[in-house]
Each structure stands twice: as structure tokens, then as C-alpha cells.
A and B are shown apart, each in its own frame.
Chain A
Amino acid sequence: MKITIKGAHLFDPNNNVDEVGDLYIEDDRVTDNFSATSSQIEIDAKGLYLLPGFVDIHSHFREPGNEDAETIETGSRAAVKGGYTSVAVMPNTNPPIDNEGVARFIKEKAKEANKCRIFPIGTITKGRKGSELSEMGHLYEAGCVAFSDDGECVKNSATIRRALEYSLLIDVPIIEHPEDTTLTSEGQINEGVISTRLGLIGIPDVSEASMVARDILLAKFTGGKLHLAHISSENSVDCLKYGKNKGIKVTSEVTPHHLLLTEEEVVHFDTNTKMKPPLRTKSDIEALQKALKKGIIDAVATDHAPHPDYAKELEYSLAPFGVVGLETAFSALYTRLVLSEKISMEGLIQSMTNKPAGILNLPVGEIKEGGTADFTLVDLNAEWTVDPAKFASKSANSPFIGWKLKGVIKFTIVGGILAFNEGEFL
């Protein structure tokens, strides 16, 4: 399969590419030597930016077990619609990815869907129960790119220590969901002004920072690779600074909603503002934005967590935690952070492409001879309004509904195949 992309603004900060030009793709690679035989697909990309496809290292595709929220098929549609070419999916499925069978099932389904690349993440402990380690070796061989009990924190410090030690065998990160559940039990939103006003039980930010601190010190002690999921507070950022300064093998991620929204969003009891960790305060947002800019937080990850609407149309305290994010991530961050000059375009793209790819060792598009042909073409000037009726995802639980955003994904190419073509899926 040959693809020609004409007149795009080629932008790959990791490879110092920032110019208007043409790109030629043959099979799954970028090629300089384009033979005379015509390409099967020609894309007129005038006015569009050609970026490496985004890499999401934290998504929930719910299959197997919760297919009414999302399936691997619908999740991968949402991904390519949002410009994502690689997605790592969390193992809190039912059954969980704590054995090779489920890992292979997911790889099969991903192949069937044939859109974005999908990589399973295995559990740290059997059944995510937090006591016995899962067979990380077997899981790795079955295709798992990291291990996490996400959704749950590994409460027992001895267990997470063992996991970090054991992972030295395989050399992939242990991803922790940092939450001290004795501090967060029954909590619904950030503990602060809004929770006091609304009478909702709060989740204090120290519940996250204390686990971040614990795990960073254990990473130092064991020498294992630690990745911290969905950082949400200033206190956690301070702990990460310590980790980076000491040269500890710790990486971390932050979600678009934590970068853009505060607890103030909750005042109307809209359950699309409910997730874990919760939305926090203005000073937390500022700390997170600065941390991402400076590289103290390495990557953006969506924590795409679909829930069907009947599940979210409940009393706030009963509604499940989580919001979707694949289809809005880039546009929201581009509009609110890049256009308002809080972060550079280079910085944003790197935090959504090569940096997350580097953490889990995933393929990432590169605009260079022989580079992987994982790309997305974006019209940065086009405006759109977030409308869940138009989502490719099966679920509509987005905190950005009604937002007017700039940046429309027009095409997504995965391994040289046009997976998303102006509204049409492969």
C-alpha cells in the first residue's frame, strides 16, 4: 500500500521536523525513495498538520466483561477519531488480564478491529486483589507491555516492593494507581471548598501524594521501573520533583481533564465530573501544567473510562467514577493550553507521542526515512463543538460536552493503513 500526502505541515519535534512538504508511505514505513508507480491513496493535506499519531498509555476498553460501555472495536474507533495510533489498555476487565488467555484474546480482538494498535497491560496481582503476584513473565510473552492493578492501588507496601523487584526480570514499568483507600473511603470529590459546600464526602489530595511518595521511595530502594498513573495534585508533583532530581526510575502521566478542570465543575452534581482521582483546585492545575511543561510529569494519558448513560444517570454518590477522553484529548489541550501559550506545541506533541511511547516502549510515528508510518492529520483551524451524539465511543460520559474546540482530526494512518478517513472508519 502506497500513500502520498501532499502539502502538509510536517511536524515531528522529536525528529526536529517542522516544515511544509510531502510525505510518502510505503507499506508500514515512511519512504524517501518513492518509485514511479502511483500510490493507491493520495491525500491533499494543504492546511493540515501531519503529526506522529498519538500514543495513549492508559485507556479502558471494557472488553471482556463490560461491553455495554465499550468494546475493543468501538474503543479503537474512538482512538483513531481522536488521532491515536497506539493505545495501551488497562486490565480491570472481567475477567481481568491476569492470565495469558485474556491477553491473547485482546490481541486477537485488536487484530479483528484493525484500526489502532492495542497493547494489553497485565495485572500486578492475581485478580487485582493485591496479594499474590500475577505471572508477569507469561503475561509479557503474551503481549503485555506493563503491569498495573489500575482502579485499585496496591495497598500492601510489601507487595508493591516485590512487584518492583520482580519486574527487573522483564524490564517493563509497574504502573501504580496511587490512592490510600483508608483516606478515600466513601469519598466522591476532592476534599475542599466544594465538598464542604455540597456535603459530599471528600477525597483529600494527601491520599494520592502519600502513595506517590511511598512508591517513589520503593522504586529507589528496588531499582525497579515505576510509572505513576493520573497525577492530580500539587503535592504529588512535589514528590515527583524529588524522584526526578534523585535520578529514580520514575515516570508519570496526567490526563486532559486534570489539566483543564477544577472541582468547581461539580456544583451542579453532573456525574460527568466524577472520576478518580477527582478534579482538584486551581493551584493544583497550575502545578500540573507547569510540571508537564518542565518534564516533571512525562506524558499525557487519557484514562478513557467509558460508562453507559444509565450507569451515570444516578445519584452522584452512586455513579461510577470515570470519563471518556480519546476523542477530545488533543483538541482540548491544544485549544486551552497551546493556544493560550501555557505549553508549546512541541511540548504538547512530545507529551502525547514519543514520551508516552518511550515509557512503555511502544511504536510511534516518525517523520524520517524508515520511520513507522503512524500519523494523524489535523486541521488546527477547524472548530467543532463536543457533542456526544457524534462520538465514536459507545459511551458519552465526557466532562467537555458543549465545549467549542479547535483542532479536528481528519485522517489517521496506522502502520501505513488509513484507519480513519474524514469520518469513515476502515
Chain B
Amino acid sequence: MMNRKDLLGIEDLSREEIEEILEVAKSMEEILERPIKKAPTLRGITIANLFFEPSTRTLSSFALAEKRLSADSINLSASSSSVLKGETLLDTARNIEAMEVDIIVIRHSMPGAPHLLAKRLEASVVNAGDGTHEHPTQTLLDLMTIRKRFSEFDKLKVAIIGDIRHSRVARSLILGLHKMGCEVTVCGPPTLIPKWMDVFKVGINYNIEEVIPDKDILYILRIQKERQDQSFLPSMREYIKYYSLTYERLKKYASPEIVIMHAGPMNRGIEIESRVADSEFSLILDQVTAGVAVRMSILYLLSRRKLNENNN
């Protein structure tokens, strides 16, 4: 990981690198448990958070991670950015880099945007979500959460339920789970599961009640209202009827050790019943906690490369 300039996707990472990130994240957790939640590790490192899509969770998670490690961080959001004035993404990023920014954390609505920057900039680029392509930091914090609960990944059975087609969370997660040796099944309406999904070597099943029984983890994806408007779904009502994770479904079909995960933000009552989200099965808040530690780990490992370079 320390030979990498950027973190663009789970696709590029080896299992060893993932393990490395999770190991370091464990140490980072300690800092979060101290009375003074700070270490001077990234002092002097400047990080720009370039978020072209709105986000509370990911942005604040990164911002906190940066501050915990004493980095200087600035937040730039799309609405206040020069992109509205017609400046290209590349020019915007170049200008930021010219102000001696070491790391750019970017969230963008289009696949490949971080890759464009990574190719052209000296600064390290971290993908905080690029359209429907990847969301690597989400997967890494998901893996950390899973490891804490299960300690072993091998042969864990995971079902990802929802709008697979439009989900960067799903794409990254499938890659990450496979690299760690888990078995993955995807479930959702046929219009929302691409025809070529089997190239990812996942099980495909359109029936949630068949999918739940032998699984260790149910990962629920957010469903967006727009899908109804675009004719992917006839109505939210129909989606709830067939795919909502209700307490009833859970009790009836799931193993008693089942664990529920969701990247958030949740649509309570739609893809997940409120009662389930708050139940003892849910690891949803643990995911959020893991998020800061994992992001600290990533920023630390990427910045080590720069420091190593400066030394040599």
C-alpha cells in the first residue's frame, strides 16, 4: 500500500494490502479511545476534500480522520466550486494542487473522475465514491466491521440486497469480499441486476426469501426514488413488498446469528424496516465508527509514501 500513490478502487488492491490497511486501522482505533483524540502523525500534510456530490457521512468521516491525525484539511463542495463557472475538473484539481496540497479526497458523480486526476496530478488521490463505479473506503470499513464481529472471513456467506446496477457500494464490496474469501449472492429486482453480473462470480437470485436463510451477513442497499421514475420499478410499494428487509422476514428466514449492514443513508421503511435497523442484529453504527479509523489508516499509509520519498 505504501508503494501506491493513490487509492482508486478495491479492484487494484491485493489481499495483503487490504490486510495492511485493516491492521493499521486497529491501531488508529486506539487514538479514538484516548482522552485527547489526536496524534501528530500527519502534521504538515495538507488534504483537500473535493466533494462534488453531497455527503454527510463520508465527508465528516474523512474530515475527522484528517483532524485526528493533525493534518490540515479543507473542504470544497461542488456548489461553491469553480466547476459551476465552467472550469474543468482537471483544472480545478490542478489549481488546488498548486497550493501545495498533498492528498485530494474526491467524491464525484462520474465513474473514472478520480482516475483522471490520479493520472495527471502528483498529489495522492483517494476515491471517496465515483458515480456508480467504486467506493473503496466504504468497503474497507465494512471489512473492518465484519472482521471485528467474525474474526475470519473465509467462507462467510454474504447477501447484497437492492439496486445492484446503480450501486458503487455493491461493486466495491463484491470485489473486497471475494478477495477476502467470502461467498457473495446478489438479490434484487431483475431490472436492477445487470445481465452480466455472473462475470463477478456471484450468485444471483431475485427472491429475497430464498436468499436470506443460509447467510451470515445481509448487506442492504439504499433504493432511490428516481428508479421508479426511470421505469426500473413500478413503485416503491412494490419494491417494499418484494425486497424490504422487514422484521418478520428476518425472524422467519434468517439464522439467529444474522448480522445486518447498510452503508447509509437509510430509507427507513423502504429497503429496511425501522425496527430491523435498530435491532441487536444491526452493525450499522459500528460501520460508521470503523469509518474514521479506516480512513485514518488510508491517509497514514498514503502519506508514508511521500515521507519515504522525502527521506530517500
Chain A interface residues toward B at CB < 8 A: 192-193, 195-200, 268-269, 310, 313-318
Instruction: Report A-chain residues with C-beta under 8 Å of the C-beta of B132.
Output: 199-200
Say yes or no: B112 contacts A315, CB within 8 Å: yes
Instruction: Report B-chain residues with C-beta under 8 Å of the C-beta of A198.
Output: 111-112, 133
Contact of A200 among B89, B133, B199 (CB under 8 A): B133
Interface of A, secondary structure class, is loop
**Residue of B with least CB distance to A310:** B88
Instruction: Report A-chain residues with C-beta under 8 Å of the C-beta of B166.
Output: 199
Given the known interface contacts A313-B88, A314-B90, A315-B89, the answer about A196 and B194 at a Cβ–Cβ threshold of 8 Å is yes
**Residue of A with least CB distance to B88:** A314
B190 at the interface (CB under 8 A from A): no
Instruction: Report A-chain residues with C-beta under 8 Å of the C-beta of B199.
Output: 193, 196-197
Contact of B110 among A197, A268, A310, A317 (CB under 8 A): A317
Say yes or no: B194 contacts A317, CB within 8 Å: no
B31 at the interface (CB under 8 A from A): no
Give A201 Cβ to nearest chain B Cβ, in Å: 8
- How many angstroms between the C-alpha atoms of A193 and B171 in the bound complex? 13
**Residue of B with least CB distance to A192:** B196
- How many angstroms between the C-alpha atoms of A313 and B93 in the bound complex? 13
- How many angstroms between the C-alpha atoms of A197 and B131 in the bound complex? 12
Given the known interface contacts A197-B171, A198-B133, A199-B111, the answer about A314 and B197 at a Cβ–Cβ threshold of 8 Å is no
Q: Which of B90, B112, B130, B134 has the most CB of A within 10 A?
A: B112
B116 at the interface (CB under 8 A from A): yes
Q: How many of B's residues come within 8 Å of A, CB to CB?
A: 25
Q: Other than A313-B116, A315-B113, give 11 A-B pairs with Cβ distance below 8 A.
A: A193-B196, A193-B199, A195-B196, A196-B196, A197-B200, A198-B133, A199-B130, A268-B115, A310-B88, A315-B110, A316-B111
Residue interface bits B119-141, CB-to-A below 8 A is 1, else 0? 01000000000111110000000
Give B202 Cβ to nearest chain A Cβ, in Å: 11
Can you list 7 pairs linking A and B with CB atoms under 8 Å apart?
A193-B199, A195-B194, A196-B200, A199-B168, A310-B88, A316-B110, A318-B110
Say yes or no: B133 contacts A199, CB within 8 Å: yes
B108 at the interface (CB under 8 A from A): yes
Contact of A269 among B89, B112, B194 (CB under 8 A): B112
Say yes or no: B108 contacts A315, CB within 8 Å: yes
Instruction: Report A-chain residues with C-beta under 8 Å of the C-beta of B196.
Output: 192-193, 195-196
Instruction: Report B-chain residues with C-beta under 8 Å of the C-beta of A195.
Output: 194, 196
- How many angstroms between the C-alpha atoms of A361 and B120 in the bound complex? 47
Give B89 Cβ to nearest chain A Cβ, in Å: 6
**Residue of A with least CB distance to B120:** A313
Give A379 Cβ to nearest chain B Cβ, in Å: 35
Say yes or no: A314 contacts B111, CB within 8 Å: no
- How many angstroms between the C-alpha atoms of A219 and B29 in the bound complex? 70
Instruction: Report A-chain residues with C-beta under 8 Å of the C-beta of B90.
Output: 313-314
- How many angstroms between the C-alpha atoms of A116 and B110 in the bound complex? 41
- How many angstroms between the C-alpha atoms of A313 and B132 in the bound complex? 20
Instruction: Report B-chain residues with C-beta under 8 Å of the C-beta of A269.
Output: 111-112, 115-116
Say yes or no: A199 contacts B171, CB within 8 Å: yes
- How many angstroms between the C-alpha atoms of A316 and B114 in the bound complex? 11
- How many angstroms between the C-alpha atoms of A316 and B171 in the bound complex? 18
Residue interface bits B45-65, CB-to-A below 8 A is 1, else 0? 000000000000000000000
- How many angstroms between the C-alpha atoms of A198 and B131 in the bound complex? 10
- Top 9 closest pairs, chain A to chain B, by CB: A269-B112, A199-B132, A199-B133, A315-B110, A316-B112, A196-B196, A317-B110, A196-B194, A269-B115
Given the known interface contacts A193-B196, A269-B111, A269-B115, the answer about A314 and B89 at a Cβ–Cβ threshold of 8 Å is yes
Given the known interface contacts A200-B133, A310-B88, the answer about A315 and B197 at a Cβ–Cβ threshold of 8 Å is no
Give A197 Cβ to nearest chain B Cβ, in Å: 7
Say yes or no: A199 contacts B134, CB within 8 Å: yes
Instruction: Report A-chain residues with C-beta under 8 Å of the C-beta of B112.
Output: 198, 200, 269, 315-317
- How many angstroms between the C-alpha atoms of A313 and B92 in the bound complex? 13
